[in-house]
């Protein structure tokens, strides 16, 4: 029996792909291991989004290649976005890797590995067509996140074609999963004890447009709210151009939906947005935020911005800073622009020097840190339900928790000091917010 180790890099979508692979591989001729030194097969689920992610993927593969000498490794597999984009280049540069599989390789990984051992296989197996995995492939999915929450993928691919992004070339066109398949998977996951589902896709607000002729995210959310035992539904990666009054009303009327939305904006200047191919204007973005806050005063916004996009002037950057201070968004991630080949923006001649991109990112983050701290202080006195996310290994009785306003892995914690050993990861508690500790909030048990 071959022991298989899976290393997952990149976004939450990759986490789901690896979980599907783990489920498929955990039966029959294979056994999963958490120790790469003991694995005959290592699969690295790569990310190719930006330069830093590519470098991490390549370094990870090279690191595991050494296990052919120091461990039991027989077969090293690179899978996912990086391979889909650079398969030929990787094969030439990395002879240490035995198989290169694209983004559609994860759902027939069992057959690929069996064929390799039985008859040998070409080193590159990257599909040039795009499909959705069968619903049955998700049935055996092994959720790797803590038991109280799980990611729920509602679509594959992307149709947006933003000028700086190669994801459509790596993931293919947008492909919505049928609503009945999503609901069946949700019910199965919740039946195992999961209480929070986090909806993901490259663009969740686009959901259904390709399959049903119009966006159907609100309809899907309302059906998910009927799943018995499910307590929280959280929405990530909702592009603003398909956020409708129907969706905002759904948030307002359905108590299971967290008053939290991850809405990537990337910039606010109209000329930059147009060059980015974002299909939205500053006025429309401001209107969406206003409509959300009018309907749901405690709505928590998370977003991302890019600094130093080609041609970004000092005035355009100043406009972004001014918007940040006026909008007072709760959570903000900032990425210095990464020049990616095979993208329209990557071919532009008016590239901004890297040091300016980095400098602007730091200025934006410094301003946002103060905004976040002010918002946290403004929340002091609020009472919230929280879930225990981690227990500090260093400070006795320190629990790291989060409420409706925090997504796992990317947002601050609510720090809670209580009796050591009294609570476990996944427990739900009620706290009162009492202060701020750098990025995190502080709470006391009620």
Please write the tens of the pLDDT for every residue from 218-246. 999 999 999 999 999 999 999 999 999 99
Please write the tens of the pLDDT for every residue from 115-124. 999 887 788 8
* Alpha carbon distance 332, 325 (integer Å): 12
Please write the tens of the pLDDT for every residue from 162-203. 999 988 888 999 999 999 999 999 999 999 999 999 999 999
Q: Is the pLDDT of residue 365 over 80?
A: yes
> Does the annotation flag 11 for ligand binding?
yes
Q: Is the pLDDT of residue 140 over 90?
A: no
Residue 177: exposed, middle, or buried by beta-carbon count in 10 A (0-12, 13-18, 19+)? buried
Compute the C-alpha angle 74/80/81, nearest 5°. Answer: 140
Helices first, then strands: H and E counts in the chain: 14, 19
pLDDT category of residue 139 using cuts at 50, 70 and 90: confident
> Does the annotation flag 81 for ligand binding?
yes
> Does the annotation flag 47 for ligand binding?
yes
Please write the tens of the pLDDT for every residue from 283-313. 999 999 999 999 999 999 999 999 999 999 9
As given in the structure block, the two tokens for residue 285 are: 């973005």
Please write the tens of the pLDDT for every residue from 257-288. 999 999 999 999 999 999 999 999 999 999 99
pTM for the model: 0.94
* Alpha carbon distance 111, 358 (integer Å): 45
Res 131: pLDDT? 78
């Amino acid at each position: 029996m071959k022991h298989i180790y899976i290393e997952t890099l990149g976004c939450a979508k990759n986490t789901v792909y690896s979980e599907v692979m783990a489920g498929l591989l955990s039966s029959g001729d294979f056994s999963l291991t958490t120790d790469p030194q003991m694995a005959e097969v290592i699969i690295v689920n790569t990310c190719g989004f930006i330069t830093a992610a590519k470098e991490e993927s390549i370094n990870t593969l090279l690191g595991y290649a050494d296990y052919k000498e120091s461990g039991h490794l027989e077969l090293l597999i690179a899978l996912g976005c990086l391979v889909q984009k650079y398969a030929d280049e990787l094969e030439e540069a990395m002879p240490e890797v035995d198989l290169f599989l694209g983004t559609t390789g994860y759902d027939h990984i069992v057959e690929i590995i069996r064929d390799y051992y039985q008859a040998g296989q070409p080193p590159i197996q990257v599909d040039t067509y795009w499909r959705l995995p069968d619903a049955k492939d998700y049935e055996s999915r092994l959720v790797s996140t803590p038991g109280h929450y799980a990611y729920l993928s509602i679509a594959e691919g992307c149709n947006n074609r933003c000028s700086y992004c190669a994801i459509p070339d790596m993931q293919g066109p947008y492909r919505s999963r049928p609503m009945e398949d999503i609901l069946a998977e949700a019910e199965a996951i919740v039946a195992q004890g999961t209480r929070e589902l986090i909806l993901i896709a490259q663009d969740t607000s686009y959901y259904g447009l390709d399959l049903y002729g119009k966006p159907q995210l609100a309809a899907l959310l309302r059906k998910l709210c009927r799943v018995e035992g499910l307590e929280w539904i959280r929405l990530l990666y909702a592009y603003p151009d398909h956020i409708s009054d129907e969706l905002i009303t759904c948030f307002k009327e359905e108590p299971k939906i967290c008053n939290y939305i991850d809405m990537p904006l990337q910039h606010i200047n109209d000329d930059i947005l147009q060059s980015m191919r974002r299909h939205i204007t500053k006025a429309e973005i401001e209107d969406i935020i206003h409509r959300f806050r009018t309907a749901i005063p405690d709505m928590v916004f998370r977003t991302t911005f890019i600094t130093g996009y080609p041609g970004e002037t000092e005035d355009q950057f100043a406009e972004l800073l001014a918007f940040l201070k006026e909008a007072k968004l709760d959570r903000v991630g900032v990425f210095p622009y990464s020049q990616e080949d095979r993208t329209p923006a990557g071919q532009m001649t008016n590239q901004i020097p890297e040091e300016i991109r980095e400098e602007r990112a730091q200025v934006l983050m410094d301003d946002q840190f103060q905004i976040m701290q002010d918002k946290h202080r403004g929340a002091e006195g609020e009472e919230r339900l929280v879930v225990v996310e981690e227990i500090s290994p260093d400070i006795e009785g320190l629990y790291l928790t989060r409420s409706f306003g925090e997504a796992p892995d990317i947002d601050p914690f609510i720090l809670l000091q209580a009796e050591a050993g009294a609570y476990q990861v996944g427990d739900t508690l009620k706290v009162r917010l009492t202060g701020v500790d750098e990025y995190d909030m502080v709470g006391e048990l009620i």
